[in-house]
Amino acid sequence: MGTFHDHLGEWHGVTIAMQTRDGTIYVGRCHEVNEHVVVMHDADHHHDGDGGMNTADYLKKAGRWGVFKKHDHLVLECAQVAWIKPLNQF
Amino acid sequence: MPYPELMVRPMREDLVRIGVRELRTAEDVRAFFADAAGASMIVINSVCGCAAGMARPAVALALQHAKKPDHVVTVFAGQDTEATAAVRGRFPELPPSSPSIIIMKDGQLVDYIARHRIEGRSAHDIAKDMTEVFDEIC
């Protein structure tokens, strides 16, 4: 997977779902994953229960339709990240 | 900012040569929706690699299926910006995504294959998603 920019990591250009260790879910287009940070574009975030939706239902809806962005760009430290998966797995 | 037309012309022609009609202006889009009875598919084209490698080949495969939409049209995101905005304005519930594919019946949304359902998949698998919907509505 990924695109022609190998130096930006295997997730470059892929729409990902990511959970951080505090339980927050982030969905957006991954720009780069390096040893320090994850950089995303056009990202949404969701906390369990936001909008009356639990995390599983949010991921299911995001996987079906996509998300409206809340962040043009987002940078998160890798140490905060619990997991990253392609959104199309949901 | 749009890319030079010389660069994107082959990306347009990938679809036009298989019978997909381009909607270049908001007026083109308005006229299309005014006469969109039956099954329709709108391809939101893009310069990105997954449009070239997966989305456009998938559309070409899907249009070889026995059942296919009455109308197949395309707008080019980032190039024909007013036309793209006009399509997206018809479906405010859909997060913007390019490339992407909208399938409708009598103007009503039936399926939306956004970019994340295109990335990393084969054209064959994406075409299968489309043709399963064609079998239901065409």
pLDDT at A5 over 70: no
Confidence class of residue A11 from pLDDT cuts 50, 70 and 90? confident
- What is the value of ipTM here, to two decimals? 0.86
Confidence class of residue A10 from pLDDT cuts 50, 70 and 90? confident
State how far the Cα of A31 lies from the Cα of B136, in Å rounded to an integer: 37
Q: pLDDT tens digit string along B54-106?
A: 999 999 999 999 999 999 999 999 999 999 999 999 999 999 999 999 999 99
Whether A1 maps to a domain, the answer reads no
Structural domain total, chain B: 1
What is the average pLDDT across A65-76? 96
Q: Do A66 and B95 touch (CB under 8 A)?
A: yes
pLDDT at A3 over 60: no
Residue the block writes with tokens 């239901």: B136
pLDDT at A6 over 70: no
Whether A23 maps to a domain, the answer reads yes
Distance of CA B97 to CAs A54, B37, B63, Å?
24, 25, 22
pLDDT at A8: 64
Structural domain total, chain A: 1
Domain hosting residue A60, numbered range: 6-89
B contact test, residue of A65, A69, A71, A89 with most B CBs within 10 A: A65
B109 — contact with chain A (CB < 8 Å)? Answer: no
* CATH number reported for the structural domain that contains residue A63 in this entry: 2.30.30.100
pLDDT at B5 over 70: yes
Considering only CA atoms, which of B113, B4, B108, B134 is closest in space to residue B56?
A: B113
Percent pLDDT > 90 in chain B is 93
Q: Provide the 8-state DSSP code for A35.
A: S
Which of B114, B120, B121 is opposite residue A66, by nearest beta carbon? B114
* CATH number reported for the structural domain that contains residue B116 in this entry: 3.40.30.10
Q: Of chain B residues 3-22, which have a CB less than 8 A from chain A? A: none
pLDDT at A2 over 50: no
Considering only CA atoms, which of B48, B65, B86, B35 is closest in space to residue B128?
A: B65
pTM: 0.92
Whether A19 maps to a domain, the answer reads yes
A79 — contact with chain B (CB < 8 Å)? Answer: no
State how far the Cα of B96 lies from the Cα of B21, in Å rounded to an integer: 21
Whether A75 maps to a domain, the answer reads yes
